[in-house]
Amino acid sequence: MNRPATAVFAALEALLAVGIGLGIPVIALTLMWAFQYGLQIDWLVFWRAAVDFWLAGHSVDLTFALSPESAAATGVSGAADPISITMAVLGFSALTVFLGARAGRAIGETAHRMVGIGSAVGAFAILSTVVTLTARHPQAMPSLWQGIVLPTLVYAVPVVVAAEVARRRRSEPADPVTGFVLRIVERIPGHARIVAAAGLRVGAASSLVVLAVSGLVVALLLLTHYAQIITLYESAHAGLLGGIALTLGQLALLPNAVVWAMSWFVGPGFALGTGSSISPLGTHVGPMPSVPFLGALPTSDLAFGFVGLVVPVVAAFVVTTLLRTRAERLLGRANDVVHRILIGVSAGVAGGLVLGLLAWAAAGSAGPGRLAHVGSAPLLVGGFAALEIAIPAVIAMVVTPPRFVGRADDDRDRAEGRSRASDAHESAVPTPATIAGGAGPDEQATDRIEGLTR
């Protein structure tokens, strides 16, 4: 494709990403407007609510102001004050990341990657700005600058990364911007780059394993607490369409639940309201919102709950053991204890940053009163995760099982033997200069050849 076609294609990818992410709540709320409310309410109310959901999914702060009658009807203390929503609904963010990676892979296949990336990110920023402006209302006010920047950032990062990965797989030359960045990276000493890359790989993989275990546990809790969830659905009296909208909202919150479970495995746990705490060392839960999937959460202390703390430790040790050989091969002659320890430490830093950022995104204010504190403490989660990944990673990098020691020694001996044999062979082969030279070198060359043939 030429440049104009690439720009149009990338802009359509951005339009598709915004359309899918925003279309899910718009369709659900429009059906409620048509069939449950009988078209009696202005549709713009439902449009703004859908946009608010989408913006909240990208960590945009929302400020609500309820009327005195509505605040009194909630029965929640502090409902009459301005309500701030700062917790991200991560389901929408995950969808945007997926669509951004998909667009980035397609853009990376074109001959004008920078044009495509610029067009995609620019179009998404324009659409996000327009959408945010249409949702601003005195009773529900999203942050304008966050509505422009944060969704665009969530979309731009996977677009750029996926496009670069596609370029590398095709072994194509880098564009000027990418080449400039790569030249800056190449100025970093080689061993430092190897240590940082290996640590990032180990830390990210360990974090992914912990999140996978957390997702499995959340799925098991939902299956084993099915009766409680159905009871909460019935008590909501939402009707068919209301139940569908409630289910879609809970699906968008499932990634938050997985991150909360990750915080539980790491150690600090999480809160569902001011004064509550759910962690391996103890559980204290007060009144919770009537969200059906919250019925799967434990409401009392778990016997041997502290055993869950071994999940990140075991994950880091196993992942480091599996990736250690490649890191040592890249280190080459610099494969010493210091560099291996640095890989383990950098893995802990990377894993702590990943899990701490996820905990930050899944935490914040979710409503008035005690709901102003929901989620986990990002600094605690990041710090605990860094220690729980770094320590086993360092041990796995430094301590080698006996069978690996023997195999490494054998490989080293064979390599040294091949090197000595090659040197002897090269020194034994006469050159034209030695053959045509004086008696001394000639006699020595003859003796070596006779010795080899003998």
Q: What is the pLDDT of residues 290-339, one digit of tens each?
A: 778 777 777 666 656 677 889 999 999 999 999 888 888 877 776 778 88
Phi, psi values for residue 63, rounded to 5°:
-125, 120
3 state DSSP class of 368: coil
Please choose, from the candidates 394, 414, 397, 406, the residue with its C-alpha nearest in 3D space to the C-alpha of residue 325. 397
Q: Is 239 left (phi over 0), alpha (psi -120 to 50) or beta?
A: left
CA dihedral sign, ordered 270, 274, 275, 276: negative
- Cβ-contact 393, 348 below 8 angstroms: yes
End-to-end alpha-carbon separation of the chain, Å? 69
Domain boundaries, the chain: 3-187, 193-399, 417-453
pLDDT at 261 over 80: yes
pTM: 0.80
3 state DSSP class of 41: coil
Amino acid at 337: V
How far apart are the C-alpha atoms of 273 and 77, rounded to whole Å? 13
Most confidently modeled range among 277-286, 297-306, 425-434: 277-286
Phi, psi values for residue 140, rounded to 5°:
-150, 100
- Cβ-contact 354, 372 below 8 angstroms: no
β-bridge mates for residue 53, sequence order? none
| Higher local confidence (pLDDT), 323 or 413 | 323
The separation between CA 337 and the C-alpha centre of its own chain, rounded to angstroms, equals 30
pLDDT at site 422? 53
Whole-Å CA distances, 328 to 22, 193, 195, 335, 389 = 47, 13, 10, 6, 19
Sequence-separated (6 or more) residues with CB below 8 Å from residue 385: 207, 210, 266, 312, 348, 351, 352, 354, 355, 356
- Cβ-contact 56, 62 below 8 angstroms: yes
Tell me: the pLDDT tens digits for 102-147? 999 999 888 888 899 999 999 999 999 999 999 888 888 888 999 9
Tell me: the pLDDT tens digits for 154-209? 999 999 999 888 888 877 777 777 777 777 877 877 778 888 888 999 999 999 99
Phi, psi values for residue 77, rounded to 5°:
-65, 135
- Cβ-contact 98, 255 below 8 angstroms: no
3 state DSSP class of 85: strand
| Higher local confidence (pLDDT), 410 or 318 | 318
> What is the number of alpha carbons within 13 Å of residue 314 lying toward its C-beta?
8
> What is the number of alpha carbons within 13 Å of residue 80 lying toward its C-beta?
6
371 — pLDDT class (breaks 50, 70, 90): confident
